[in-house]
Amino acid sequence: MAETVKLTFEGETYEFPLVIGTEGEKAIDISKLRQTTGLITLDPGFVNTGSCVSAITFVDGEKGILRFRGYSIEELARYSSFREVAYLLIHNVLPTHEELQNFSILLNDQSMVHEDMQHFFETFPRGSHPMGILSAMVTALKSFYPYLQSAEEEMDRTVTRLLSKVRTMAAMSYKISIGHKVTYPRPDLSYCANFLNMMFDSPVKPYHIHKELVKALNVFWILHADHEQNCSTASVRVVGSGRVNLYAAISAGIAALWGPLHGGANQAVIEMLMDIKNDRGGLSRAVKRAKDRNDPFRLMGFGHRVYKSYDPRAKILKKMVDRVFTKLKISDPLLDIAKELEEIALQDDYFIDHNLYPNVDFYSGILLRAMGIPTNMFTVMFAIGRLPGWIAQWKEDADDPKWKLSRPRQIYAGPRKRKYVAIEKR
Ligand code: SDX
């Protein structure tokens, strides 16, 4: 007998099915609520509302657990590669050698960008934010590949085209923004090594591809690859539910990720640390402002809607930063400030009482700085990492025979009915 939840309203008792996930999470299925009771639910920011049943990512915010298709983020970061994790998220299995090889061939075959797209980059005003450019360029891909998702194009081609071209476009937009010649992808380089080479190789100074940075970039993108129904993934699902093409839905995800409360936080963390570095007493001032309820200032890179414990990704990134700094014999004053800020916050009652810990964005920017990535491209780096997750989440919807258009309800609180008044009488 399926478990149910009872609701009593205006003397009537109603029963609704209880949905229990594979990890024991419980939800009331209210899909018949309005039809049976006339009620709807209200939950600004969807703090308590599940939008779907998903088999892709499991997060336990209290215990700091993150798994992709059942595999722990710690094991994937240690043993896997970004390509392999992308395949896992999209296909729900770790690929065999042959499957990974075929996936890689498709990624390589699709790594070039149509030469006409270069003009798009050149017509954006200098100084345009790379996230705005990326969102526009991804939508434009549909114009260059109109047969997208048609019968003659199998899914892996659609998927690898996006995974490969977004990486190339990101590097292209950087090169064009600094007035340099575009570096083309190379068939002999892996996904991550190709990106670094496209970003930093130059005719007068060949780029030395450091294996430590390739490993770090693999881990960085693995950690960002998915995170259940976050703001940008929810946006991809909502926009995709209108049956728009995949690339337009992904473009919506890029736009949502841009915000400083979401993916834009990695850039905001570095800007915050720079402000602290340039301001004597900046550290204590930042902590003081973060605790002041009348001050809109937030400690960027701290806090999370789901993690009420240390974000497991932040732990891995912090270790990866220490490893890269040791191997490359480099340092960064912002790392010292970040560690000091973390230590102060984690001992402060305000942060303890509010369950505020470092999240994925707190150390990620410091790692990207070590790679030489410009600050205004940090969120683009997050977007490239999140692509496989967005695609997998969209595909999970698209493969559902009961795929519904997303259209939330509301409670109206505006004026009651009133008569129109001619302008002469107002
Ligand atoms: C990502 O959802 C995901 O999974 C996202 C992500 C992913 O992989 O997709 O994990 C990536 O977006 C990580 C989050 C990056 N954003 C930041 O680092 C920005 C700083 N963080 C905050 O703005 C905030 O923590 C949020 C937005 C991330 C989450 O906030 P919530 O869940 O909406 O909660 P809230 O803003 O209502 O805050 C609850 C309380 C408030 O205090 P009270 O009014 O209850 O006294 O906590 C306080 C807030 O003032 N608070 C903070 C704080 N975060 C929350 N106070 C100071 N500094 C902060 N960073």
Instruction: Note the pLDDT tens digit of each residue in 252-266.
Output: 999 999 999 999 999
> Are 4-65 and 73-239+379-399 the same fold in CATH?
no
**Closest residue by CA, ligand 1 atom 40:** 354
Instruction: State the sign of the Cα–Cα–Cα–Cα dihedral 395, 361, 306, 291.
Output: negative
Instruction: Give me the CATH code for the 4-65 domain, please.
Output: 2.20.28
Q: Nearest-CA neighbor of 304 among 253, 388, 230?
A: 230
For residue 356, pLDDT over 80 is answered with: yes
In short, whether 356's Cβ falls inside 6 Å of ligand 1 is: yes
Question: By percentage, how much of the chain surpasses pLDDT 70?
Answer: 99
CA atoms within 13 A on the CB side of 395: 20
pLDDT of residue 26: 97
Task: Annotate 200-218 with DSSP letters as a single string.
Answer: H-BTTB-----HHHHHHHH
Rounded distance from Cα 301 to ligand 1 centre (Å): 9
Please identify, in words, the CATH class of the domain defined by 265-371: mainly alpha
Rounded distance from Cα 307 to ligand 1 centre (Å): 10
**Closest residue by CA, ligand 1 atom 55:** 303
In short, whether 130's Cβ falls inside 6 Å of ligand 1 is: no
CA distance 65 to 192: 26
Catalytic positions, written as ranges: 304, 361
In short, whether 365's Cβ falls inside 6 Å of ligand 1 is: no
CB 72 within 8 A of CB 60: no
pLDDT of residue 147: 77
In short, whether 301's Cβ falls inside 6 Å of ligand 1 is: yes
For residue 40, pLDDT over 80 is answered with: yes
* Residue 248 amino acid letter: A
**Closest residue by CA, ligand 1 atom 23:** 261
- Say what the alpha-carbon torsion angle 210, 254, 148, 237 is, to the nearest 10 degrees: 120
Rounded distance from Cα 281 to ligand 1 centre (Å): 24
For residue 152, pLDDT over 70 is answered with: no
In short, whether 360's Cβ falls inside 6 Å of ligand 1 is: yes
CB 63 within 8 A of CB 57: no
* Residue 150 amino acid letter: S
pLDDT of residue 196: 98
In short, whether 361's Cβ falls inside 6 Å of ligand 1 is: yes
For residue 211, pLDDT over 60 is answered with: yes
Give the confidence band of 126 by pLDDT, cuts at 50, 70, 90: confident
CA distance 269 to 345: 15
Please identify, in words, the CATH class of the domain defined by 73-239+379-399: mainly alpha
Rounded distance from Cα 302 to ligand 1 centre (Å): 7
In short, whether 304's Cβ falls inside 6 Å of ligand 1 is: yes
Which residue blocks in 204-307 are alpha helix, DSSP H?
211-223, 231-240, 246-257, 265-277, 282-291
**Sequence spans of domains, the chain:** 4-65, 73-239+379-399, 265-371
Q: Nearest-CA neighbor of 78 among 256, 323, 337, 291?
A: 323
Rounded distance from Cα 292 to ligand 1 centre (Å): 15
**Pocket of ligand 1, candidates 356, 379, 386: which has the most ligand atoms within 8 Å of its Cβ, to mutate?**
356
Rounded distance from Cα 303 to ligand 1 centre (Å): 4
Average pLDDT of the segment spanning 70-85:
98
Counting from 1 in the atom list of ligand 1, the atom nearest the Cα of 305 is: 32
Rounded distance from Cα 51 to ligand 1 centre (Å): 20
In short, whether 262's Cβ falls inside 6 Å of ligand 1 is: yes
Instruction: Output the six-digit token pair for 60.
Output: 């336990």
CB 332 within 8 A of CB 273: no
In short, whether 265's Cβ falls inside 6 Å of ligand 1 is: yes
**Closest residue by CA, ligand 1 atom 2:** 230
Rounded distance from Cα 213 to ligand 1 centre (Å): 30
**Pocket of ligand 1, candidates 269, 344, 354, 381: which has the most ligand atoms within 8 Å of its Cβ, to mutate?**
354
Give the confidence band of 122 by pLDDT, cuts at 50, 70, 90: confident
In short, whether 289's Cβ falls inside 6 Å of ligand 1 is: no
pLDDT of residue 146: 84
**Closest residue by CA, ligand 1 atom 8:** 227
For residue 120, pLDDT over 60 is answered with: yes
Average pLDDT of the segment spanning 308-329:
97
Average pLDDT of the segment spanning 326-344:
97
Give the confidence band of 151 by pLDDT, cuts at 50, 70, 90: low
pLDDT of residue 1: 66
Average pLDDT of the segment spanning 235-241:
98
Per the prediction, the chain carries an average pLDDT of 96
**Pocket of ligand 1, candidates 48, 231, 261, 348: which has the most ligand atoms within 8 Å of its Cβ, to mutate?**
261
Average pLDDT of the segment spanning 328-342:
97
In short, whether 300's Cβ falls inside 6 Å of ligand 1 is: yes
For residue 80, pLDDT over 60 is answered with: yes
